[in-house]
């Protein structure tokens, strides 16, 4: 199949659904802001990779999935977990390392899991989970199901062997998988064009005879539409798709990294913020008369309350019992 | 009881488990059309079809990861590495994915998967193709590691590995594939974590696994014949979990031990066994525990040098004589 | 080459020893393993044996004299060998001081009694005397197994020639030692059947009688200073480390012994002369079984941790002529009443004759002290650290009590438990005593 660029979103998405997406994006933004605050207060430890700026990708793509589909992601996965319906309480509690967290406090920011929502984890080795996505979709095909597996990774993972091995095998075996590359332009502090011979990720699909789309990741509607097409390809005959979703992260690579400085300028970050996915959607809904200032305020209040509750819940939750140390090394 | 080769015993275990459980499938290089690089999968493609006997590109990391992903979604993959030397390319999937996902998901996502293939030196394959990965793999919590020495154990341990709900590493011996032995028919499962006394004795325990079991048995014969020494040969069979009770019971009887392994000496399996003995059988020891390992060098190609590098019957006999204060 | 004879550490806690009696005199030929002298340790009288063949020379410690462990008490030399330096009573063994090499021993402790010391050698050139000194007289190379076998058999490893590398004593050496006539073990008379076996017991007894007159000695001095015997010193030291630093508290409980008495009588009728069961045996047995159900009381305080024992080793305070000692009934919970009885009597006898081996009076997890035979109603016992508890047993007396609503005369017993509050809390100790009471009041409960 040939590589194609993204057409403009054709179908009208009902206003109510768009409001729901706005709410999800707002929830992710406020949640991540709160996580940054908690990190600064020492409530969250270790690595913590925030999703601010990329909200439209998780929300738009996950909106195209069914409940019985699978999702797998990298270590920048708070937003995807929230958009998949994992409660803010459980996610925040996991960031806090508490017993009530998604992984009982044993995974942390990089390893959010919710098997009941088929959210198969955040994974911490760049590109290491891409073969797992192929494996999950292999199992779907093996069992004769029509589910799909949606796999998120950053553009930097494209340079690692696992990406290429997985795309090759997904195409050879015709696996129902969507490889969703969130191109936020920097692998930690290295601009993609400095380390990639081919800077349009979609082009890699040619090597593996795979469908692909280049998508505007600041437009939730565009992300949704492209993912819907990819999902359809996967469900009908198990064809994989590579989506390159162009987006931007406002924050540093992780909480311990600067927002800008040696590798990008403040001006660049400010310029990118003018394309803010939340502002864009808000503007569109206001223009269409589907949302007014009161409605927006109400959404903001709801979302802040949810995040405050998550923080309170995480704060008050207990640490894991010491017996958890040795539990789950092996299954029974 | 029928006599089978180690290779056919493994084949039988795979066939029976695939017949028993439709979620079991075999994936790896040359497992299908070619019938297996070492013919372990002979006839399986014909019986089970290409969905369950899956040929892969030469992409160890990729297909190991596909196996782990399939296990996450409820299948029981058996991933064959043509040899464990190539599996080093897949270590990220074995160590970072298979061994950790259950733990980092707080117990939500078990990974019932088998990684198997030949391990250790064969003959004159030189450094990159002659390595024993036992201690590398046994180091990792979340993995279990078995290393059968006989056809019967090969069948029983592979069946146990496939049925286990966790990742199990099956280290086969390239030099063992043609070894013949009696193999129980049908339901024969050897529990993971149980060592086996391959030859009882009173004076010294030779602790070994996989290919070195043969070496230890020959050494025991020589010790009996030339020195009147009764050596016990304890086959560990599982390297993780280690059957500490069996080790301690034997050493408590014999008061002396020699640990034999194919791997290098530094941080090897034998070092772990010695730790168990010094910790829990200190007062039973009449001599320091000695180890016989591969020489601490990359495996040379030359036949004579290769022979010098491998653990040999002579070296095991010499070590046993030393712990018995015979020299 | 001359071999020094040291005052050896013959018990685990011994710091000095009193030379009770020399079995060999100056100039006597001696063989390795032969008893040279009897030494009173802090716990018992033990044999000091020769570590070399030769002739005994330069006996430096007189009978009755006390010297620190490691002191040279004599020399064993080859017949006709000249000796260049006399031992000095109280002089330290090289192995127990700082490395001896730089300075010759004589330079360390010049003594008026010594012959002129050799010229002081420069520190760098190893003086002959230092070179000849044993590196460490008490170090024995032995495999862990050999050490354990020796301990179980009561064999002194120093007496067993080692055949392993560097003279390591290994299993076969002990097996060989067992099949040939062994040198006398410490504490065993050299000729058990001989009429003239040395009688340290008598000796100790005579001395004890001299210093502990039962009544005031009128018409003499107003007082008599009696030097502390080794055992008395040890008792003083050990008990002062108990009542001072150990926060004791005490729990007393009265127990009805009527049914225990009936059971004991019935048993003794049945046993006849085969060995009577005493109340003490019943109490020991009940205590051991109660400990099985109350591990928190079966514990050692170990400074930074508490060791809760899963085995019951019951200490049993025994009064001996000159003090007391607490031999241990090992695995008391697993032994039958009559086994406990036999063992208690044997241990008490050996304690009184001061023939207990160190491993027979160490390692108790809990103790019982019984002064019932002295008509003591109740008393408090001092805990023997690191144990965390001891039960003091009074006498059994008939008392009027209200029983089943009626006034009745019944045999009653008072138990007082001393508890180390760092390990045992009030309720913990009380629960244990309740179980003990239940068992004594209803001996069938011991079968549960």
Q: What is the pLDDT of residues B270-323, one digit of tens each?
A: 999 999 999 999 989 999 999 999 999 999 999 999 999 999 999 999 999 999
Find residues 28-57 of chain B whose CB sits inside 8 Å of chain A: 51-52, 54, 56-57
Note if C421 is an active site residue. Answer: yes
Is B282 part of the contact surface with chain C (CB cutoff 8 Å)? yes
Q: Please count the other Cβ atoms lying within 10 Å of the Cβ belonging to residue A153.
A: 26
Span B134-163, average pLDDT: 98
- Residues A197-256 have pLDDT tens digits of 999 999 999 999 999 999 999 999 999 999 999 999 999 988 999 999 999 999 988 887
Q: What percent of chain C has pLDDT over 90?
A: 16
pLDDT at C211 over 70: no
pLDDT at B212 over 60: yes
Lowest mean pLDDT among B70-74, B197-201, C124-128: C124-128
Query: Which of the residues C171, C174, C175, C176 would you substitute to probe the B interface, choosing the one with the greatest number of B C-beta atoms within 10 Å?
Result: C171
Q: Which residues pair with B28 in a beta bridge?
A: B55, B80
Burial classification of residue A64, based on how many CB atoms lie within 10 Å of its CB (0-12 exposed, 13-18 middle, 19 or more buried):
buried
Q: Do B68 and A131 touch (CB under 8 A)?
A: yes
The DSSP output letter for C418 is E
pLDDT reported for residue C232: 64
Gap between the Cα atoms of C391 and C380, Å rounded: 8
Tokens found for residue A130: 């891409």
pLDDT reported for residue A8: 53
Neighbours of chain C (3+ CB pairs under 8 A): B
Gap between the Cα atoms of B282 and A267, Å rounded: 69
Closest CA to A220 of A26, A3, A5: A26
pLDDT reported for residue C299: 87
Q: Read off the pLDDT band of C228 (50, 70, 90).
A: low
- pLDDT: which is higher, C415 or C323: C415
User: What's the full length of chain B, in residues?
Assistant: 327
Distance from CA of B155 to the nearest CA of A (A): 22
- Residues A270-322 have pLDDT tens digits of 999 999 999 999 999 999 999 999 999 999 999 999 999 999 999 999 999 99
pLDDT reported for residue C265: 86
Q: CB neighbours of B268 closer than 8 A, spacing ≥ 6?
A: B134, B135, B261, B291, B293
Residues of A in contact with B165 (CB under 8 A): 330-332
Gap between the Cα atoms of B254 and C410, Å rounded: 59
Distance from CA of A9 to the nearest CA of B (A): 33
Phi, psi of B243 (to 5 degrees): -80, 80
Checking DSSP bridges between strand C389-393 and strand C366-370, what pairing results, if any? parallel
- Residues B32-44 have pLDDT tens digits of 999 999 999 999 9
- pLDDT: which is higher, C363 or B101: B101
pLDDT at A171 over 70: yes
Of A115, A131, A172, the CB nearest to B69: A131
Q: CB neighbours of A221 closer than 8 A, spacing ≥ 6?
A: A9, A13, A18, A60, A281
- Residues C284-329 have pLDDT tens digits of 999 999 998 888 898 888 877 888 888 899 999 988 877 888 999 9
Q: Read off the pLDDT band of B248 (50, 70, 90).
A: very high
Residues of B in contact with A162 (CB under 8 A): 61-62, 65, 92
Closest CA to C258 of C437, C32, C75, C56: C437
Neighbours of chain A (3+ CB pairs under 8 A): B
Q: Which residues pair with C409 in a beta bridge?
A: C400
Q: Do chains C and B touch (3 or more CB pairs under 8 A)?
A: yes
Phi, psi of B184 (to 5 degrees): -60, 145
Checking DSSP bridges between strand A149-154 and strand A177-183, what pairing results, if any? parallel
Checking DSSP bridges between strand C323-325 and strand C299-301, what pairing results, if any? unpaired
pTM (2 decimals)? 0.66
Gap between the Cα atoms of A220 and A18, Å rounded: 9
pLDDT reported for residue A16: 94
> Quick check: A250 and A273 in contact, CB under 8 A?
yes
Gap between the Cα atoms of C352 and C320, Å rounded: 5
Distance from CA of B62 to the nearest CA of A (A): 5
Q: Do B104 and A103 touch (CB under 8 A)?
A: yes
Tokens found for residue A113: 């899991």
> Quick check: C37 and C15 in contact, CB under 8 A?
no
pLDDT at C332 over 50: yes
pLDDT at A3 over 60: no
pLDDT reported for residue C124: 39
Note if B60 is an active site residue. Answer: yes
Comparing alpha-carbon positions, the chain B residue that sits nearest to A133 is: B69
Total beta-carbon pairs less than 8 A apart between chain B and chain C: 27
Gap between the Cα atoms of C110 and C121, Å rounded: 15
ipTM of the assembly?
A: 0.94
- pLDDT: which is higher, C271 or B75: B75
> Quick check: B42 and B79 in contact, CB under 8 A?
no
Is B286 part of the contact surface with chain C (CB cutoff 8 Å)? yes
Closest CA to B288 of C150, C146, C144: C144
Tokens found for residue C42: 């802090």
Closest CA to A78 of A28, A116, A37: A28
């Amino acid at each position: 199949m040939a590589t194609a660029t993204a057409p403009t979103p054709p179908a009208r998405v009902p206003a109510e659904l768009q409001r729901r997406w706005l709410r999800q994006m707002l929830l992710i933004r406020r949640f991540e802001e709160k996580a940054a605050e908690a990190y600064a207060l020492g409530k969250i430890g270790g690595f913590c990779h925030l999703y601010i700026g990329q909200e439209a990708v998780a929300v738009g793509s996950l909106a195209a999935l069914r409940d019985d589909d699978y999702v797998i992601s990298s270590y920048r996965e708070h937003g995807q977990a929230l958009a998949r319906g994992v409660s803010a309480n459980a996610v925040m509690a996991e960031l806090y390392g508490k017993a009530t967290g998604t992984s009982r406090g044993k995974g942390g920011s990089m390893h959010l899991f919710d098997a009941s929502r088929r959210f198969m984890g955040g994974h911490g080795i760049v590109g290491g989970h891409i073969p797992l996505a192929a494996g999950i979709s292999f199992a779907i095909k093996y069992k004769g199901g029509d589910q799909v597996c949606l796999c998120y990774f950053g553009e930097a993972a494209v340079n690692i062997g696992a990406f290429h091995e997985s795309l090759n095998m997904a195409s050879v075996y015709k696996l129902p998988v969507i490889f969703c590359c969130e191109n936020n332009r920097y692998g930690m502090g290295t601009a993609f064009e400095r380390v990639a011979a081919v800077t349009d990720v979609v082009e890699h699909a040619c090597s593996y005879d795979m469908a692909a789309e280049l998508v505007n990741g600041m437009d939730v509607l565009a992300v949704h539409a492209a993912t819907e097409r990819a999902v359809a390809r996967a469900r009908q005959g198990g064809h994989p798709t590579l989506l390159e979703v162009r987006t931007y992260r406002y924050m540093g690579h992780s909480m311990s990294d600067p927002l800008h400085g040696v590798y990008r300028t403040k001006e660049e970050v400010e310029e990118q913020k003018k394309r803010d996915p939340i502002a864009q959607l808000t503007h569109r809904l206001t223009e269409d008369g589907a949302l007014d200032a009161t409605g927006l305020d109400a959404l903001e209040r709801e979302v802040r309350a949810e995040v405050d509750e998550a923080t309170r819940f995480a704060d008050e939750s207990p640490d894991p019992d010491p017996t958890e140390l040795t539990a789950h090394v092996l299954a029974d | 009881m029928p006599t089978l080769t180690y290779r056919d015993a493994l084949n039988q275990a795979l066939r029976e488990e695939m017949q028993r459980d439709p979620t079991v499938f075999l994936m790896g290089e040359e497992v299908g059309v070619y019938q297996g690089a070492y013919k372990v999968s002979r006839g399986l493609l014909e019986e089970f079809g290409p969905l369950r006997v899956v040929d892969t590109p030469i992409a160890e990391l990729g297909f190991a990861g596909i196996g782990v992903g399939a296990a996450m979604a409820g299948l029981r993959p058996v991933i064959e590495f043509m040899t464990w030397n190539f599996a080093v390319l897949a270590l990220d999937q074995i160590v970072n994915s298979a061994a950790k996902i259950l733990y980092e998901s707080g117990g939500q996502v078990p990974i019932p998967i088998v990684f198997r293939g030949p391990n250790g030196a064969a003959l004159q394959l030189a450094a990159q193709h002659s390595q024993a990965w036992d201690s590398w793999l046994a180091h990792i919590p979340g993995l279990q590691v078995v290393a059968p020495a006989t056809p019967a154990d090969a069948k029983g341990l592979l069946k146990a590995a496939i049925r286990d709900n966790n990742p199990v590493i099956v280290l086969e011996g390239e030099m063992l594939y043609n070894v013949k032995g009696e193999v129980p028919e049908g339901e024969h499962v050897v529990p993971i974590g149980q060592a086996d006394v391959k030859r009882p004795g009173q004076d010294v325990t030779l602790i070994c696994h996989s290919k070195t079991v043969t070496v230890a048995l020959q050494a025991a014969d020589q010790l009996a014949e030339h020195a009147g020494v009764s050596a016990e040969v304890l086959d560990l069979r599982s390297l993780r979990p280690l059957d500490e009770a069996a080790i301690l019971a034997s050493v408590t009887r014999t008061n002396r031990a020699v640990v034999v392994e194919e791997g290098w000496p530094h941080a090897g399996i034998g070092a772990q066994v010695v730790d168990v003995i010094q910790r829990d059988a200190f007062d039973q020891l009449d001599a320091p525990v000695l180890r016989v390992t591969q020489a601490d060098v990359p495996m040379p190609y030359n036949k004579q040098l290769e022979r010098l590098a491998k653990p040999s019957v002579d070296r095991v006999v010499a070590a046993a004589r030393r712990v018995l204060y015979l020299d | 080459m001359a071999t020094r004879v040291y005052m050896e550490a013959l018990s685990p806690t011994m710091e000095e020893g009193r030379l009770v009696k020399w079995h060999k005199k100056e100039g006597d030929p001696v063989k390795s393993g032969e008893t040279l002298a009897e030494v009173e340790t802090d716990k018992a009288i033990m044999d000091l044996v020769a570590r070399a063949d030769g002739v005994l020379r330069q006996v430096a410690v007189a009978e009755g004299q006390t010297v620190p462990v490691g002191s040279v008490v004599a020399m064993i030399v080859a017949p006709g060998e000249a000796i260049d330096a006399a031992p000095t009573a109280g002089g330290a063994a090289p192995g127990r001081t700082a490395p001896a090499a730089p300075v010759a021993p004589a330079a360390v402790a010049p003594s008026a009694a010594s012959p002129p010391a050799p010229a002081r050698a420069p520190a760098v050139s190893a003086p002959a005397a230092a070179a000849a000194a044993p590196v460490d007289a008490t170090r024995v190379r032995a495999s862990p197994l050999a050490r354990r076998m020796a301990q179980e058999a009561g064999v002194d490893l120093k007496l067993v020639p080692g055949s392993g590398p560097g003279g390591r004593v290994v299993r076969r050496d002990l097996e060989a030692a067992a099949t040939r006539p062994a040198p006398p073990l410490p504490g065993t008379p050299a000729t058990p059947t001989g009429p003239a076996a040395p009688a340290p017991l008598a000796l100790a007894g005579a001395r004890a009688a001299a210093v502990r007159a039962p009544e005031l000695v009128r018409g003499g001095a107003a007082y008599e200073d009696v030097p502390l015997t080794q055992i008395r010193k040890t008792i003083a030291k050990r008990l002062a480390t108990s009542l001072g630093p150990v926060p004791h508290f005490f729990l007393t409980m009265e127990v009805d012994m009527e049914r225990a008495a009936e059971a004991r009588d019935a048993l003794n009728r049945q046993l006849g002369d085969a060995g009577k069961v005493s109340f003490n045996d019943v109490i020991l047995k009940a205590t051991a079984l109660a400990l099985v159900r109350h591990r928190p009381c079966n514990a050692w305080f170990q400074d930074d941790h508490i060791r809760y024992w899963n085995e019951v080793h019951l200490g049993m305070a025994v009064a001996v002529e000159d003090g007391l000692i607490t031999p241990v009934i090992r695995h008391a919970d697993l032994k039958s009443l009559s086994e406990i009885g036999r063992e208690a009597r044997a241990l008490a006898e050996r304690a009184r004759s001061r023939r207990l081996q160190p491993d027979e009076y160490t390692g108790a997890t809990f103790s019982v002290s019984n002064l019932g035979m002295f008509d003591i109603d109740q008393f408090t016992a001092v805990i023997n650290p690191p144990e965390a508890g001891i039960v003091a047993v009074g006498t059994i007396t008939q008392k009027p009590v209200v029983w089943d609503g009626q006034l009745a005369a019944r045999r009653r017993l008072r138990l007082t438990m001393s508890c180390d509050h760092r390990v045992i809390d009030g309720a913990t100790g009380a629960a244990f005593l309740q179980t003990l009471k239940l068992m004594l009041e209803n001996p069938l409960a011991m079968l549960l």
